[in-house]
Amino acid sequence: MSQGSGESGSSVPSAPLISVQDLSNPPGPSSPLQQPDDLISSSPLTDQVTVTADETSPSSTSSFEIIDMEAVPSAYEAVQPHWFYCRRADTKDSWMPFSTEDSQKLEQAYMLNRHISPRLGEGESCDRGSVLGGGCPGGLGEEEEVVVPTEGERYDVRLRERRRCAVYWEQAPTEVRRCTWFYKGDKDSRFLPYPEDFSQRLEEAYKISVTLDKWKRKLDFPTGEMVILHNPKLIMQYQPITQQDEWVSSPSEQTRPRTVKRGLENISVEIPDGEPEKVDHLVFMVHGIGPACDLRFRSIIQCVNDFRSASLSLLNTHFRKAQEEQAVGRVEFLPVNWHSALHGDATGVDEDIQRITLPSISRLRHFTNDTLLDLFFYNSPTYCQTIVDTVASEINRLYRLFLQRHPQFAGAVSVAGHSLGSLILFDLMTNQRTGPGESNGLRGKVDTDAPPHDYRSLEEALKRLGLEELIAVFKAEQLDLQSLALCSENDLKDLGIPLGPRKKILNFMSRRWILQDLKARSPLLAFGQQSSTEGEQASSPAPLEHPFLRPVSTTSAVDYEYFDVGIGQPNLGIATGQVSINYPQLDFHPQTFFAFGSPIGMFLTVRGLKRIDPSYSFPTCKSFFNIYHPFDPVAYRMEPMIVPDMEIEPMLIPHHKGRKRMHLELKESLTRMSTDLKNNVLGSLRTAWQSFSRLPIAALPPVGEGESNTSGLSVQEMEGPKVEEVEATSASERQTEEQNIEIGMLNGGRRIDYVLQEKPIESFNEYLFAIQSHLCYWESEDTALLVLKEIYEKLGVVLEQPQS
């Protein structure tokens, strides 16, 4: 833009002269042509305006006249400024308003520091080609800088430099403006703010017009722009032809004016709501593969911004009463970026991959190298160490910086991961230490019924299992530990051993056989599961204490910790170096771990884990939620790994408006109707068949009203007990019943798997929306509401369902 170009000057820069021509009195024959009526100049630090009148003008009585604006009664009111910042997207700049609260903070800081207005030195000028682009804005001194935190203290505004800088992540600074005047062209979708110096000249001319009640005046700016003030509501700007776009050829387009508006109240713009200063909870969000997190190829920063905005909106609707009572503040969500560190110059992996990449289908290969290869990198011991180190160090850095900026914060901290990010967090959580005496966090408490592998007698083992009453039975059959290992479940059943003790004994023998086999061979640490420092290995307890291994099937002798992943083994003929991973520790104990679209279950199965011990929980995190979309091709369940013998549906996440989606309700209604119809038809056929097959007995008296037959049941009572039972059990009751099922201790005994409700359009073709389903969590209000509900329930704040 060319508006308000800065001019070089002395220590006190003079304002550029603006030619103001009165269009209401066209020049007559005796009046000179091509001469402006007035020349107006003003000082930004005074309320006086100098009007230089043309000597030949018939309306002029003197050459110079000083007008004191404060002494002249008028309807003029100062314009109310609002602060905006520039946001660049796809090489296009857009101006976004600060919230009302942030704009007021910026304006207060600006007004308090106006007395140290900047002074340009000799030969200095405003650089129009700089990042600021708005000339030299007034308000602050050269030696002093005022920093105002905005947007929940995630961005700092440096007032003198007019820059908005990110606090927690790397992002190019953007320009900030104190805006009072706006323009809009035919091709603009919204009003855009003028630079501050240009707005100041417009305001001065507007003030004179209002004070003198003179309109239809033309303002010619030194840069070539022309603004015509027809009246207070109609102001137009014309750009010089030389500054038009080169591709514009038609004269009508060249002379097409811009609409000019004064003040924020005269334009249509959505001012964002401010954020509460109090932070109740902090959540770190880790992204998955690739630098882009959704179908619009946005970064993790932008996606987390959307999730944060959704949570703020839900706080206003679902926690309104608690907000009115000031019982809640807000939840802060901060992004954790590890992709740039992996693909940066420090590792050099991109250059190595590029050297071996084929030149054909270059765009597809570039996409593969930049995204899908992250899965292979995490399965590599070298780059897996880089990834976990980056994630942990970045989380710790953000946590310390957050505490510095929020010293009064006393809330808890949670973590959330999407796709591969959830697997990274899962491995970090399993390897955290609760105290300095523990070797790694993967080991929880030892099960009381977990038998050591070196029991010397069957009697000792039975006493440990609490089955002393069976000692006599086994002695009568002359069984010891070795012979008991050869017995099948049918053998134990033939001995008259009940089902419960029988299962305990089989589980005991399975574990004993596996652990003896593991002791006989050297331990092979699986990367991604166990820390590997020598001191930690020396202090590690025996393998038998591993909490994951308790319910392993006898057909799969696999240990989670010592599973052989086949990397760097002699039979491969490859020396890949260190296989195990040294997991860093977090500076805090997370309260809850949220997994979005997570492949954790699949990776654990591929690693050889058959089942997770129901008594296992993360060493430092006691809550875990596996949230997924039903059509997500990357997501897997976790509950079947904990309770494989129990077939239960995942918990259905309620719609944020308090009901099921309409198409799901319709589907359930149709299913219920078909079931009822089927039962009614079967009941009618059963009754008809019974009437045909029943022999006539005339000697029996008829059954009157209120009487019953010999069985005590009426015909209707005999026909429809099944139908009544189906009707009595509603979907909500089943959901409540399934919610109360205990699923291990990974989530404190509560349910783990939570499934979103698909949208109506997604139900038509689940394959078409598969990829989108994996990337939907950042904008999902249902997901955000579940996170908020879990967080605030632990703070004693109950969710309120708004009225539909």
8 A C-beta contact, residue 762 and residue 773: yes
8 A C-beta contact, residue 629 and residue 635: yes
CATH class of this structure's domain 458-515: mainly alpha
CA 491 to chain centre: 55
**Three-class secondary structure of residue 120 per DSSP:** coil
8 A C-beta contact, residue 561 and residue 526: yes
CA proximity to 674, closest of 603, 629, 721, 723:
723
CA dist., res. 192 & res. 85, Å (int):
11
For 528-581, write each residue's pLDDT tens digit. Answer: 344 444 344 444 443 334 444 433 333 333 333 333 332 222 222 223 233 478
CA proximity to 220, closest of 49, 34, 43:
34
- Contacting residues for 524 by C-beta, under 8 A, at least 6 apart: 562, 563, 564, 579
CA dist., res. 114 & res. 112, Å (int):
6
Per-residue burial over 279-290, b if 16 or more Cβ lie within 10 Å, else e, is: bbbbbbbbbbbb
- Residue 780 is classified by DSSP as -
Half-sphere exposure at residue 334, Cβ-oriented, CA atoms within 13 angstroms: 29
Helix (H) / strand (E) element for 428: namely helix 420-430
CA dist., res. 417 & res. 437, Å (int):
29
pLDDT score recorded for residue 670:
56
Cα distance between the two ends of the chain: 47
Beta bridge partners of 166: 155
Q: Which regions of the chain are under pLDDT 50?
A: 1-16, 29-66, 69, 71-73, 116-141, 247-249, 251, 253, 437, 439-453, 518, 521-579, 662-664, 697-721, 723-728
CA-based radius of gyration for the chain: 38
Q: How many residues does the structure list for the chain?
A: 804
- Helix ranges (H only) for 66-143 are 100-112
CA dist., res. 149 & res. 165, Å (int):
10
- Helix ranges (H only) for 319-372 are 320-324, 339-342, 349-355, 362-367
In this structure, the strands spanning 147-150 and 155-158 are antiparallel
Beta bridge partners of 282: 332, 413
CA proximity to 756, closest of 779, 738, 734:
779
DSSP characters over 162-227: TEEEESSS----EEEEEE-EEEE-TT-SS-EEPPHHHHHHHHHHHHHHHHHT--SEEEE-TTS-EE
CA dist., res. 325 & res. 718, Å (int):
57
Token digits of residue 230 = 């027809």
8 A C-beta contact, residue 19 and residue 220: yes
Token digits of residue 283 = 């959540």
CA dist., res. 236 & res. 259, Å (int):
5
Per-residue burial over 748-758, b if 16 or more Cβ lie within 10 Å, else e, is: eebbbbbbbbb
Sheet containing 163-166, strands listed edge to edge, beginning at the edge strand earlier in sequence: 92-97, 82-89, 174-179, 163-166, 155-158, 147-150
8 A C-beta contact, residue 744 and residue 616: yes
CA dist., res. 189 & res. 208, Å (int):
31
- Residue 87 is classified by DSSP as E
pLDDT score recorded for residue 417:
95
pLDDT score recorded for residue 373:
82
- Contacting residues for 611 by C-beta, under 8 A, at least 6 apart: 548, 551, 552, 553, 641, 642, 644
pLDDT score recorded for residue 414:
97
CATH class of this structure's domain 279-432+585-658+754-795: alpha beta
- Contacting residues for 302 by C-beta, under 8 A, at least 6 apart: 293
* Residue 144: φ, ψ to 5°: -115, 140
Token digits of residue 541 = 């307890």
Which residue matches tokens 């129901």?
A: 614
As annotated, the active-site residues are: 419
- Residue 273 is classified by DSSP as P
CA dist., res. 528 & res. 510, Å (int):
26
CA dist., res. 669 & res. 660, Å (int):
12
- On the 0-12 / 13-18 / 19+ scale of CB atoms within 10 A, 125 is middle
Which residue matches tokens 């059959």?
A: 477
Token digits of residue 197 = 């110096």
Residue-range domain boundaries for the chain: 279-432+585-658+754-795, 458-515
Which residue matches tokens 């079967």?
A: 682
pLDDT score recorded for residue 232:
86
Token digits of residue 771 = 């990829």
In this structure, the strands spanning 412-418 and 593-596 are parallel
- On the 0-12 / 13-18 / 19+ scale of CB atoms within 10 A, 454 is exposed
Dihedral sign of CA atoms 167, 173, 177, 183 in order: negative
CA proximity to 285, closest of 310, 314, 260:
310
